[in-house]
A and B are shown apart, each in its own frame.
Chain A
Amino acid sequence: MTARSRPGLPLARIDAIDDVLGRPPPPPPAAPTPRRAAAPEEPADPDQVLRDYVLAPYPPLAPVAGGLAAVNLLIESFAIAGVEAAGAAVLARLRAQLGPGRVVWGVKLNSRGLVAEPPSIPADPGSSLPPRRETGRGPALSWELYVYDPGGERPEARPAAVLAALADVLATPTLPTAPVPHHMWSLELDAAALTSGAGARLTYYTSGADTPGASRSYALADGQLALGNLYTFHDPRREPDAILARLRASVHLAGAPRGAAAVIAPGLHRCRRLCVANKRHADGLYFAGVDTDRTIGFLREHGWPAPLVGYLAERRGRLRHLAWDLALDAARGADGAPHILRTAIHASA
């Protein structure tokens, strides 16, 4: 039993009443089910600074000793998608090139059966890119790997250097001749990109120094850069009105019968940082700093593959030190309400 004094709050136990009453401890949990990934699980490193999806450091939410690294989820997702070897090879090259804790990764689930999202660049007759179409094959996982290079201080983080390091494990786009100013850049991958030589898509992200609080992305295709997304970052505790204003101004996110709750689930409103993104075919939200328990609920709610959710759920005790970054994209449906197209989970490796 526990004596508590306030409902609805994440209170710690106040009294160890069980000790007072002399009750037996609960039985130990059952052994976890086997992983899909073949590679050994990577333990968490207590000496490594934990970083979120913008490489901002955060303190562990629980003692790190004995825990698991967040990257195990990425590896498990590769395994579930049947591309463990290829995915792990790309990750290993990136980590070797950039150093520990410098790779931000995201796993994405397309909720509407799209193999890939609608192209950010509309296909035109002159484009060599094949238009991406809905295949109706069911939810599919994809990935995005982010390389952070604030201040341009790290030659090894520049796209040319990284792509060279990946050359024999991943087909990558041709870079512009002149360097593109950026704060971060990313590679979008799917199973085809990892296994069949289909190209990964490269995107540059600006820091938003010119538009305080905002950031932009530019997708690279055929040597051309096309404006992709606009991001604004907010403190959900102190800026509820700013966040609501962004939602109300969104053609995709406004007008839901339940208002903001259509995209801000209970609990996610207490994330560490909330990003609102305007994208070409949808608008999105990013919730930074979500604990493992709530992350498991998010993935379960949005229909993530049971093995992946189970992997996290059965290991939640060893993942409690981590704060995850969750995302969703939603587009206006025929009914005028936002429909969630895609969800994602991010962390660093």
Chain B
Amino acid sequence: MSKRKTKRHWKSLEERNANPDVLKVLGDEFPPGGPRQFRRRDFLKAAGFTMGVAVTTGCTRAPIQRAVPLLSQPEEIVPGRFLYYASTCGGCNAGCGVLAKVRDGRPIKLEGNPEHPISRGGLCATGQASILGLYDAERLQHPLKDGKSSTWADVDREITADLETIRAERGAVRFLSGTINSPTTLAGIQEFLKGFQNSRHVVYDALSNSALLDAHEKTHGVRALPRFHFDKAEVIVSFDADFLGTWISPVEYTADYRAARNLETKHVSYHVQFEPRLSVTGSKADQRFAVASGELGLLLSHLAERVAHKEDSPFASSQMDAAPVKEAFLDELAERLRQARGRSLVVCGVNDVRQQILCNYINHLLGNYGTTLVLEKPSLQSQGSDRELETLLDELRKGEIKALFVYGVNPSFELPGGESLERDLQKVPLLVSFAQRLDETASLARYVLPEPHYLESWSDHESISGVASISQPLLHRLGETRSVAETISAWRGSPKPGYELIRETWRNNLFTRQKKERDFETFWERTLHDGFAEIETDAIGGKPFSIQSVQPIWRAERPEANSFSLVLYPKVGMLDGRNAYNPWLHELPDPITKVTWDNYVSIAPKAAARFGISDGDVVRVDTNAGVAVELPAYIQPGQHEQTLAIALGYGSKLSARFAKVGPQWIDALVSVGDKGVVGVNAVLLLRFGNGILEYTTTNVKLTRTDKQRELACTQTHNTLSVPKKLQPKGSGPRPVLQETTLAAYLKDPHSGVEDHEEKEDLWPTDHPYRGPRWGMIIDQNACTGCSSCVIACQVENNIPVVGRDEIRRNREMHWLRIDRYYSETDSGQIEVAYEPLMCQQCENAPCETVCPVLATVHSEDGLNQQVYNRCIGTRYCANNCPYKARRFNWFNYAHDDQLQNLVLNPDVAVRSRGVMEKCTFCVQRIQEAKIEAKRRGEKVSDAAVQTACQQSCPSQAIYFGDLNDPQSQVSKMMANPRRYRVLGELNVRPAVGYLTVVRNRPEEATKGSKEEHHG
């Protein structure tokens, strides 16, 4: 074993600062805190009597089971087999292509379409979880009028009559929606609004990119969002753009980003991130700097000045403030950018036009337009205009609007209007909402005309110019809903079903723009099969870059001494609040903080120390405008010292349903907050002014309140470290996560790897793997922590939702968890690495030897099997597992919602109380592949099996396959010099290997860690 000091990784500040109380708790997998004291004799008496009672309730004969076949079975439907249909995800505006797995006439799982140019096989957590929205009993089943159920005929009649009056009176009609990139719906809306003199379609995004679009209008004369190609970039500089997490099209960008970081070909990009809070993208950056949000503009100017200087371009910079980052670093960065001219990408995620123009300027100087940013074939994924929204809000305030149609957005929840906005909305005589559920805006609307879920209706998308995708229904509509296009066609007098409307648009507009197929029907069939079609588009005309638009920013907006600047951001699972109905996404631990079921104020450690705040203390954030919110605090290493960050999307009415989520027992804490909803809505802290939604505020005050709210955070659970009292003398911290730098890797590919030689096997003939032997490799360099694998596993394996209280007691049920480790560099920068951890399917499994009933045994293809019907719940196996990968069913998690049960995977058992469960390497998929191969008379092929997590990863970080096949990808990866095994020194011989994180840093591997605090 080398004497080199290994880099110390820690999961929480308590662990790092060696707080003895917490370390004690960390060591316990099942922390104490049981029911009140019960005297033993009373207990035995009660037990005896209960047994007597239980026996009398008695067993009866097995109930009669019926088998009801279809009356007329279509040829392709075989009960028990599934079919894949291509569709497009509607979880956000990115428009990733999906393949929906349909079983017995209903979709049960979504998978990314490998051929789709946006998703390329991956799908984000929101997309994976969006299938639950289909089987939601809270979706509206009928149109509502004034809160009461009505019929389509009635509402159509009344609304058309109202519209007639409005048309005659030349009243103002507005259609307010989010970004719509469905050509059919857009065409329908245009036609509809044409019938009114004073009408407009106002588009806004709750997570606005309006400044980016406006900036391009100023610099290039066209208001468009370029399509970013991160795979072509060798140097990526991001100014608070969370492109791997939540910005515009994260699945696409993650796949591209990954392609540009290929260690095998030594083609590794260099990524620098400047941001006020620690985001998912920042956690992957090679260099990350925490700067205040008000300093980003100044930083952009500094970088622009340097690049302009190198490119001999003018840039007025005489009186700029000093840069918040070392000048030497900026010089070096500018030089790297210049060397990678045309192959670099600078992105800015701040919704500020001046900063975006500076960013465009830098890209223009570097010649990136045309290669890494393509404006001619723009992205249509975000088209909102804050300016138009502001005008609309003005009109609402003045009461000028006679009819307002709201589609795909929830302005009452997403905009900082508060009660005055509610009043303004109620002033509109005809307020119609097309919401799927009764959200805040729909509650104010006179008519609610629910639209169907994207999996049960026809729709189309053109998310990127040139790629037209189709969304097809996979089951009959569950309820009397009607899509917006259908509703509009009904109001215009010629009601047509969605199918015909889509075909019409495609025949007239899209079929004509392609040359591959001559016949429309063939084109249509092929598109339905593929899920998308490539069509030609005209390049949008842009003007040459307008230098005059560039305005340097000379001053930084720093907060005063005891104040903070506040940043509002979307979380990976919740986005703008659209997923507030989804329990899976509430329970998904945030990639960075690992907090579930709540939002909170992130505060830097130094600032927390100054104010005497610890995790869970409720604090009050006051802005200058007199708005205040109270939220629990959470200490975030790596955040800028004078920055507070709060997540948007919480506090929604749609989350009131979680008042009773999880097992209900006497001492349970509720998952909702004081107001009966999960989290607190921070939207009042947004500022709307000058035509821009601002997500940052300066000079915000922080005060402690006396209240406390315990945050259900999973980061302190399941530690793989040995408690101090059990550590043998002279042992150091376990190298659970291994990393290195690119410089060290290029010198020696084994650098950073502390793998242990496999000791001699005591039982060499115990497990002869005659057939396939399943193994997995996780490339930690590719993993971005996006957690889509966690949700994919939850959907595939019927993993229950347990609620906040159970998570607080370490009882989350996710089979696959992503451990996030912090570490520090010598210069005090916080670095993050992710380690997805699931059952390692050990060959010498410690769990197999201790099960008293042999419920967990080793299979002949390398899996550690868990037999639920044999398990009696001793939990000795979980005790013995060094990876803490086993989950125990402490309760019978409720499956009362019959509609929601339709999403359950029929190939996986639903476990009852008292049974241990864990990752099975998707054994149901392995069995299916083996049986199909047997049916066809072939050997089971490695490529036929894809575990759910592997399939879903947008970054292709997981490899799975047959270790006994030397040609398989996973066998080759196992031979990769970067490969190590977590806790390899225990000689449990896991079947899962990990590839080290390689950070692209010019200097040598960093030494040890500093003991001081770094805020």
A, B from the same assembly: no
Question: Using a CB–CB distance below 8 Å, which chain A residues touch chain B?
Answer: none
Question: Using a CB–CB distance below 8 Å, which chain B residues touch chain A?
Answer: none
